[in-house]
Structure 1
């Protein structure tokens, strides 16, 4: 047989990097996430510098988070009017202009708290159009058999940028001033827009029409209003038991991720391990490092494993990890547990997003992704509140409760035959 080793084993991890458009997309997405990390540090530091009030800081960050959560469904539904690439470019350059304006206002001494709130709200609004597009664009850049390694490379770059962004932002502020960080942030977003604008998408055959939503008549054109497109995306997601399970699982994981890995880590580091901020940094670094290793391992493995079983396995793995965090009081054991949990999150994530990109028609892909994102945004603050309340009674109650939620989620995934058969 004239089959190469690469054909038998599947595409290698670095195969997508041979394509110029993928390299441009990788650089653009990494720069955007680097800029996101900059923006969090810059907004936080300059707000505290102006007011000295953590309450005001909460308001500023909320002004950014709320529009992003509310408008992500809108952003995901606009791909029928504009391409994902166009939305990414427009969002990147708009964010660059916003950050440059804030930076210049800060350097001139004209920046006020209300101006910061408006800038944060505008940033969150524009970012809502970028996030669904950055996930849905990949199937139009690489072939389907390259989606898994391509997602692994994008995921690795994203995780490095997510860790490096706040760290580099803090260094920039320490060496200069907070407004300068906004200007550096603007450069990151401007370069992102430049790189993505140069991406060339693959020619695609016309996509078959999506199934009509409730109340739509066969043979009639689908409604094209924004509200109708949002509704069709939600209905499409809910009707498919596989998609429904993935979205419910992602929401449960987001709920079990946000609180335990913020409130929980801080409580562990301070009250249980007695290591202070240094231990907190080690825990967060272990989670990020494990996730990056898991992402790369998923890309190296390739193939099409049973995604449904991977999802259930991840739920069980995280449940066991959460239970251990509630019981173990040794710093090395906690770090190893967190590292293993991060590895599982990164590994499964590569195959989960690849399955969605490979199996969902492109005309509805961005809308499905936006539904998943919005539910995740909604779960995070609820998780913070619940875990904050449970942490008052001790880490065992908090981590144990989360472990129970994850265990039930994993069993529910296994109960669905269509989900177990997913590849």
Structure 2
């Protein structure tokens, strides 16, 4: 697998861009808070990026389908270089305002959904038409690329805090712009998947109605396929609950664990260490794991969240480490099953639908945690988080049991319902074509 041309280059590009994103995740809120003194404005800038992801997530599937995954990634990286550099540039010129920050943050989010979807889909192209349908091999490749995110999650926060202290938040944003540029160059010169050969007899320009229907083709396919529907539901439950943990951690440290910021660093680092080690485990062993082992991993992700109710820093750190350990296994499994259970012509639409759903769930988790903490208290919110994660693990296990469908062939197109006389630009699967109605 590691000898696959372009795979290690893709790993490096992912590592650099995700590291830069972690720098921004620390530097941008701090920059807004320092320059405006308003936590509300800080939250608004962060929410604007999520809004960009969610608002244009589904339509971006049409962009990926038209341009192809590699070209989409190049465009997204190229666009985010000047967007990220615009913030410190306007600040130095004295022209930076809150509306400008909101526009830039929203625009960065617009390019996130198509980039993430393309990054997940390009793996099957890199492996080739035969190896790209090997579920075990594709799962290991997904684990490798996902591992770049986990390593960056371990190193990014620690180095980000140091760089902010040494250089200032505005200068750190220049570094993030540079990582996007380097990622673009790596993709342009070293990531060149073989062109897929897709039989397509319909070269006519698609009608506007077909384009609009294609926007929701991926979502409909995921909802009609029983296993994918359950996988997406499990992903929604987990990504709603787990991100909220990190909102609660600050309150937990401040109110019950002594108020020492080093304790917060210990807890965040424990989760990052679990994510990094879990990625190594996934790369080495995911291809040999059966459904029973994957179900155990799902339980390992949710059960330790109850340790957060224990009033002891080491118990909380242990729980977060175990949650991180299991997360890469589940993430790579979902990405692999979604790719292989979807016919190639509509994979961009399905993956962007999944990415949009994932980001919307995380947005809900982030925004709901604060008010819930004020209304119900820390213990109640942590218990709700653990319960939602447990429901997600149960749903994931149900999805594994329901997933007895063979992988879709690389060039297979969904069967068109008989009632349609015309041939749309992008076909949708009829309900009867699925083995699991």
User: Which TM-score bucket, shorter chain as reference?
Assistant: 0.7 to 0.9
Structure-to-structure mapping, 1:24-423, within 5 angstroms = 24-142=9-127, 143-144=131-132, 145=134, 146-198=137-189, 199-206=191-198, 225-259=210-244, 261-303=245-287, 305-307=289-291, 309=292, 312-326=295-309, 328-392=310-374, 393-414=376-397, 418-419=401-402, 421=404
Give, in whole Å, the separation in 2 of the partners of 1:154 and 1:21.
12
**1:59-85 per-position Cα deviation (integer Å, ceiling 9, x unaligned):** 222222211221111223322210111
Give, in whole Å, the separation in 1 of the partners of 2:339 and 2:236.
18
SS at the partner of 2:58?
helix
Give, in whole Å, the separation in 1 of the partners of 2:255 and 2:64.
48
SS at the partner of 2:59?
helix
**C-alpha displacement at 1:116, in angstroms?**
1.9
**C-alpha displacement at 1:48, in angstroms?**
2.4
Give, in whole Å, the separation in 1 of the partners of 2:161 and 2:257.
26
**C-alpha displacement at 1:155, in angstroms?**
1.6
**C-alpha displacement at 1:139, in angstroms?**
0.7
Structure 1 residues 338, 165: closer, same or farther in 2, change over 3 A? closer
Structure 1 residues 180, 322: closer, same or farther in 2, change over 3 A? closer
Give, in whole Å, the separation in 2 of the partners of 1:189 and 1:258.
25
Pairing 1:22–2:14 present = no
Query: Which has the larger displacement, 283-292 or 270-279?
Result: 270-279
Give, in whole Å, the separation in 2 of the partners of 1:395 and 1:166.
24
**C-alpha displacement at 1:314, in angstroms?**
4.0
**C-alpha displacement at 1:123, in angstroms?**
1.6
Give, in whole Å, the separation in 1 of the partners of 2:398 and 2:115.
35
Whether contact under 8 Å (2:304, 2:320) holds in the other structure is yes
**C-alpha displacement at 1:130, in angstroms?**
1.4
Give, in whole Å, the separation in 1 of the partners of 2:214 and 2:404.
29
Structure 1 residues 112, 390: closer, same or farther in 2, change over 3 A? closer
**1:77-102 per-position Cα deviation (integer Å, ceiling 9, x unaligned):** 32221011111101101110122233
Structure 1 residues 97, 141: closer, same or farther in 2, change over 3 A? same
Whether contact under 8 Å (2:274, 2:325) holds in the other structure is yes
SS at the partner of 2:227?
helix
Query: Which has the larger displacement, 152-161 or 242-251?
Result: 152-161
Structure 1 residues 389, 110: closer, same or farther in 2, change over 3 A? closer
Whether contact under 8 Å (1:299, 1:350) holds in the other structure is no
In structure 1, the gaps of 5 or more residues are 1-14, 210-220
**1:274-322 per-position Cα deviation (integer Å, ceiling 9, x unaligned):** 3532222111111121122112112111425344x55643443334222
Structure 1 residues 43, 270: closer, same or farther in 2, change over 3 A? closer
**C-alpha displacement at 1:125, in angstroms?**
1.7
Whether contact under 8 Å (2:238, 2:388) holds in the other structure is no
Give, in whole Å, the separation in 2 of the partners of 1:284 and 1:256.
16
Query: Which has the larger displacement, 409-418 or 97-106?
Result: 409-418
Give, in whole Å, the separation in 2 of the partners of 1:422 and 1:339.
34
Query: Which has the larger displacement, 227-236 or 391-400?
Result: 391-400
TM-score (normalised: structure 2):
0.81
Structure 1 residues 226, 406: closer, same or farther in 2, change over 3 A? same
**1:30-64 per-position Cα deviation (integer Å, ceiling 9, x unaligned):** 22212222333332233223212111112222222
SS at the partner of 1:257?
helix
Give, in whole Å, the separation in 2 of the partners of 1:128 and 1:420.
26
Give, in whole Å, the separation in 2 of the partners of 1:131 and 1:138.
12
Give, in whole Å, the separation in 2 of the partners of 1:315 and 1:54.
35
Whether contact under 8 Å (1:24, 1:195) holds in the other structure is yes
Give, in whole Å, the separation in 1 of the partners of 2:78 and 2:394.
45
SS at the partner of 2:111?
helix
Structure 1 residues 322, 223: closer, same or farther in 2, change over 3 A? same
**C-alpha displacement at 1:185, in angstroms?**
1.7
Whether contact under 8 Å (1:319, 1:402) holds in the other structure is no
**C-alpha displacement at 1:255, in angstroms?**
1.2
Whether contact under 8 Å (2:49, 2:106) holds in the other structure is yes
Whether contact under 8 Å (1:48, 1:57) holds in the other structure is yes
Structure 1 residues 64, 383: closer, same or farther in 2, change over 3 A? closer
